[in-house]
Every structure is written in C-alpha cells, then in structure tokens.
Amino acid sequence: MNHERAKGKGQRAHAFVALCPLPFALSALPFALSALPLALSALPLALSALLVTSCTRAARQPPTARAENLLLITIDTLRADHVGAYGYARARTPTVDALARGGALFERAYAAAPITLTSHATLLTGRYPPGHGARDNGLHVSGSVPTLATTLHAAGFRTAAFVAAFPLDHQFGLNRGFDVYSDRMPRGSDGRLMNERPGSQVVDEAIAWLGVAPAASTQPPAPSPQQPAPSPQRFFLWIHLFEPHAPYGDPASGRSTMDRYDDEIATADREVGRLINVLGSLRDDTLIVVAGDHGEAFGEHDEYAHSIFVYDTTLRVPLVMNGPGVSAAVRSAENVTLADVAPTVARRLGTTIADVDGIDVSAALLGGALPARELYAESFAPLVEFGWAPLRSIRSGNWKFIAAPRAELYDIVKDAGERVDLSTAQATVVRQLDTRVSRYSPPSLPLSRTIDASGLERLRALGYANGPRHDTDTRIDPKDRREVAARIAQVTSGELTGAALVSALEEIVRADPSNSQAHLRLGYARLQQGDCAHAEQEFKWAIDGGLPTADAHLGLATCLGRANDLAGAERVLNEAKRREPDNPVITANVGILQAAKGDIGGAIESLKRAVSADPGLLEARFNLAIAFAKAGRRAEAASTARELLARLPPTAPQRAEVERLLRAVQ
C-alpha cells in the first residue's frame, strides 16, 4: 500500500472520530471504536486496446440484438467533463473512451441526486428518489420496490455486486436480488475497519466471481465472499469504484486538487479496462454500461464537493453503453436521467422492470429523438444533515427550475453554466414549474432512519454528515450558507488537519451556531488535540442541538473520564444507552467504565456483549482479556488475547502489547 496515499485517505477520519474509547480504559492501546477510511493505491496496470468499430449514421441498424449478460460499472464522483470522450484534453480514460467510440455516449445525462446511495438507487430501480425512499445516504431503499437485481434474478440471471464504499452497504437495501453482494471492507494495518477499498480489490473479486484468473497485481486481493462455481447461466454483474471520491490522492503532496482528482479517474479507468479485458468470449454477448453516480464541484457556484446543491456541476454525469443492440459511434444529445438506465437495459436483456419514472431510451442508441419530457432531481441532504431547506429541481424544455426558499430559474440552452438567474423576469414560468416540481415531492420528508450510530460515523468519515433534522416551516436557503457549506466540504474532504481543521470548524459554528454537527466535529477535533476543556462545551452544545445519535455523549463521557469524573461519565453513558440501547460501542464503553470502578464482573459481561454484537470492536476484546486476567480467569484471558491476535494484521503496532498480555497470563 502506498504510504503517502494512506496518509491522504486517512486524514478524513481525524476530522471526526466519534466513537473513541474512554480514557480510563485499562490500557493505553490506541484502538479506536470508530472506522477510518481506507487508503487507496493506484496500480499502473496495462490496458489492451479495445476493438472499436465505426459506421456512418446512415448504415446503423436498429438495436434489436438481445444481450445475454449485463456488466454495470458505476464510478463514484465522476464528472463528465473530465472524461476524454466528453472532450477533456487532459483525460487519461482510454477504456471509457474506447467504449464510447464503439457504442453510445449520452452527452446530457443527469443524476437524480448528487448523493451516492440516492443516485445508485435511482439507477437500479428506474425511480426518482421519492419513489425508492433513499433520499440521502443512510436512509433505506424501500423493500417493496423492484430493482434490476430482483428483476433479473427472477428471470434466471446469476447476479453479483461488488461495491467499494460504505454508503452502499447492504443494510441500506440495494443488496436485494443479488446472489453475492460483496460490501465487506478490509481492515487497515492497525486493525481498524475501513469505510472504502481500492478499485483493484473490487475488480479482483468480480473477476473471481466470473470464474477467470485475475490479472497480476502488486496488491493482495481483499478477502472474497464465497464464490459460486462458474456456469453458462446469464449474469448481471455490478461493480462500484470509489475513486475518484475525495480526498484525492495525498493532499500533502503539493500537487493540485485537480491533478489528484484526474489521477484517481485514471486509476478507475485502468481497473475498468482490467475487468473488460478478461471477459473473453463473454464480451460479445455482454451489454456494458458505464456511469458516474454524480459529479463534483471545484468552486463552481461557490460549491465544493457534492450533495448540497443541484446545479449541473454535480448532476451531469458520463453515461456510455456498449454491446449487443448498441450501434457504434453514437453521440446522443438528448436529455436523459439515470432513471432511464434500468428500463433501457432491461429491454436490451429481454425483460422489463415495473413502475419506473425513467423510460427506455433505445431510440437514442441510434442517435434518434426521444419524447419531450421533464426530468426531476433533488437534494434532501441540506434538510437531513443540517436542517436547511431541501432543493428540488425540474428540467423542462429550455428551462431548469430549482425550488428553494428563493427559487432559481435558468435558460440552460443559452446559459449552460447556470450563471444568470431569470426567476424574477420569468415569474409565470416559475409558478408553473414550482407547481410541477411539487408533483414529484413536497419540500418535507417523513424520515425514519434505520442506520445505527456506528454506521452514521462511517458515513461521516466519508464526508457525509447525517446530522439533525429540523421540521420547521421556515428553513434556511442553502444559498445563504454557501460559505458554511464550502467550509464543511473542506472539513469532510480530508484536505484539512490539525489546527487548520479546528479553525475551519470554528468558522462554521460562528456562521451557523445552530449547526450541531459542526459542534460535534469541533468537539472531536479539540479532543484529538487533547483540549478537553473546550471539547466538553462543544459536545454539550451538540447534545442540546438535538443530534439523533449518542456520538456527542460518547465524546463528553471521554472528557469526563479524563477528568476522573467517573460518576459524570456514568450519567452520560446511561443517557447514551437510553438513546441507543443496542449500540455495542456504548456497551463496550460501559464495560470499560465498570472496570475502572472495580466492577470486574460487570465489566466482563458488558464487554462480552459488545464483542458478541460486533466482533470487530478490537479494543473491547483487548479490555475483555484484561478483565478476565484481573478476575483470575487466566485461560479465558489467554484465549481472548489469542483471538485478538488472529484478527490483527501482522503489521499492526498493537500486537506487541497483546503478546505481552498473553505471555503474562499463560
């Protein structure tokens, strides 16, 4: 693993480590009960040239050939204008470019939301976000909605998905219909569970599932799920690559953000090429679809990263189709949405998917016209994460309308950059489109979150806040918080650490004092610096602000423990337990507290429950071994220590202390 790359990817978690152990733990072992993001290393894999056919428009035939298989490739955070086939002169995307030359490229493809889970759910269901329910990361896709996987599985396809990051974890509902849904993230050298993994591991697993030998790699593959034996059965394979999501490469390298972003795009393209090159004879019968899930902002509209605003900077995505039934060298200028992918590919595979918002765009695969229609997109992240107003948009004819406390209207034919707001001059159009956008969704959200606190923290480590929701009639327009949103993006991107991180968070809470999530992050940033005196107040503000999880309680309990206020820490942990009674992280901290108070029997029971609920809580396992030792249960202490050593990577720095404990109890 590239050390500098590890440093860059790891910095994001230091911005917010919510689930840390209490300081009065019975060891100084620096295991964290929260997850850190995985370092990704780029592998210089060679690509074989893809065969490209070309023909004139007059020679094209209707795409009537049925595909036998489907390979769906989604590349996270990929802007269309950073792909060579879309005209980017500095692009290093030979694989996607070749697929475009040999197939169909959609010049105007748009996500239904600039959010990973939400956009993927739309792509796989054919429904806009109100229809599938996953309106933000951490929310659940409705279990009653058909997906490409459930539809194709019912039609007899082998189905498999290999995803690269926690926002697509199986708990959020996209696993339905897949025989194999590989979302298991590896552990780092320190034993911590990661929130993302490199594309090379995803592709290695996909190749293994296909039943062909993986290409040589300098990086060992991730542990693979149980693989079924290869069969002639038709297949649907989905791979998700997290490159080029922020942070890009190593922020400390001195290279520009854009260069590092392009490096990660090149890495993703190489991995796509490696997978396609091993298809062999399967290639002729396989429909290949490559899509971005959303774009990325680098200062356009004063926006950075993605998820809050709904400008085309983050909604426009690349979309390429190649394979049976797709003519070569097609460039469609028709407006399409990612909701069109499911009904289109279902038809190309000889089936249909029910109750969709998208349409079959097969006509565009010939360069033909599509029916006139409007496209919907939204972001409810401002509401779910910060209590601001959500943004809903509709694209109709020349107009793009954004419903907000102060509505926006753009003539996207004359003003593709959405720079001149015409809402005042076109009041009639605004009223008409506001009525139409409300037919898709009201500006409110009946929210029932199913993710637990540890899952919320893993999302935050990847830059998704998932903070409080304020159901009030008057909400802040995200445009009035552009600077705050930009600072939040810097905080969550991993580009800031140490004093710079604290300074950025201080600016956020000054500008937006009610932002409980920022107070929480600032509390942990100060805690990381050893400044519990100031961190304690931030945690109290976060609790008073109504955060839905117990993360602030855990931080406050840590500070109280460091001050040897065990009674205060116990009160705070009890409140945390009341909020989240089944959270094993809280249970583990209760056990550590019990041990500090001398209640070894109670500590053993609590720590056993925590480890049983989540075997990956390594510090809980270590403290359990110590508690067994203090209780004179040496055999159980040794057994627990050996199990911990088996779970720790060979290079983990904590191994020495665990081995010392094991020698002491044997």
Query: Do 432 and 460 reside in the same domain of the chain?
Result: no
Average pLDDT (257-268) is: 96
CATH code at position 591:
1.25.40.10
Cβ distance 381 to 115 under 8 Å?
Answer: yes
CATH code at position 353:
3.40.720.10
Per-residue pLDDT tens for 353-382? 999 999 999 999 988 899 999 999 999 999
Query: Do 81 and 168 reside in the same domain of the chain?
Result: yes
Tell me the backbone φ, ψ of residue 396, rounded to 5 degrees: -140, 115
Asked whether residue 204 is domain-assigned, the answer is: yes
* Full domain range(s) for residue 407: 391-440
pLDDT value at residue 51? 26
pLDDT value at residue 186? 78
Q: Find the helix packing angle between 618-630 and 634-647, rounded to 10°.
A: 160
pLDDT value at residue 193? 63
Cβ-proximal residues to 645 (8 Å cutoff; 6+ apart), any chain? 655, 658, 659, 662
Average pLDDT (98-123) is: 97
Asked whether residue 61 is domain-assigned, the answer is: no
pLDDT value at residue 2? 35
How far is it, in rounded angstroms, from Cα 661 to Cα 666? 9
Single out the residue in 338, 369, 400 at which a domain terminates. 369
Average pLDDT (343-347) is: 97
Q: Identify the residue with better confidence: 60 or 31.
A: 60
Query: Do 311 and 413 reside in the same domain of the chain?
Result: no
Q: Please count the structural domains in the chain.
A: 3
pLDDT value at residue 238? 98
Per-residue pLDDT tens for 132-174? 999 999 889 999 999 999 999 999 999 999 999 999 999 899 9
Asked whether residue 401 is domain-assigned, the answer is: yes
Query: Do 197 and 292 reside in the same domain of the chain?
Result: yes
pLDDT value at residue 391? 97
The CA–CA distances, whole Å, from 477 to 52, 271, 371, 406, 481 equal 48, 40, 34, 7, 7
Alpha helices in 548-617 (DSSP H): 551-562, 566-579, 584-596, 600-613
Query: Do 302 and 203 reside in the same domain of the chain?
Result: yes
Bridge partners of 376, per DSSP, are 394
Q: Using CA of residue 336, residue 337, residue 338, residue 339, what is the dihedral sign?
A: negative
Asked whether residue 43 is domain-assigned, the answer is: no
Asked whether residue 279 is domain-assigned, the answer is: yes
Query: Do 474 and 431 reside in the same domain of the chain?
Result: no
Q: Identify the residue with better confidence: 459 or 219.
A: 459
Band of pLDDT at residue 253, cut at 50, 70 and 90 = confident
Per-residue pLDDT tens for 487-546? 888 787 777 778 888 988 998 888 888 888 889 989 998 998 899 999 999 999 999 887
Query: Do 455 and 435 reside in the same domain of the chain?
Result: no
Query: Do 10 and 118 reside in the same domain of the chain?
Result: no
Query: Do 342 and 476 reside in the same domain of the chain?
Result: no
Query: Do 346 and 249 reside in the same domain of the chain?
Result: yes
Residue 555 has pLDDT above 80, yes or no: yes
Cβ distance 488 to 518 under 8 Å?
Answer: yes
High-pLDDT (> 90) share of the chain, %: 63
Query: Do 145 and 226 reside in the same domain of the chain?
Result: yes
Alpha helices in 137-235 (DSSP H): 148-154, 199-210
Cis peptide before 247 (omega within 30 of 0): yes
Place of tokens 């890009």: 248
Single out the residue in 440, 470, 503 at which a domain terminates. 440
CATH code at position 427:
3.30.1120.10
The CA–CA distances, whole Å, from 504 to 476, 488, 501, 509, 539 equal 21, 8, 5, 9, 17
Asked whether residue 59 is domain-assigned, the answer is: no
Residue 407 has pLDDT above 60, yes or no: yes
Cβ distance 551 to 454 under 8 Å?
Answer: no
397 DSSP 8-state letter? T
Residue 13 has pLDDT above 70, yes or no: no
Asked whether residue 110 is domain-assigned, the answer is: yes
Per-residue pLDDT tens for 283-327? 999 999 999 999 999 999 999 899 999 999 999 999 999 999 899
DSSP string, 279-327: -GGGGGGEEEEEEES---EESGGG-EESSS--SHHHHEE-EEEESTT--
Tell me the backbone φ, ψ of residue 15, rounded to 5 degrees: -70, -25
Bridge partners of 105, per DSSP, are 320, 331
pLDDT value at residue 158? 97
Asked whether residue 47 is domain-assigned, the answer is: no
Query: Do 149 and 188 reside in the same domain of the chain?
Result: yes
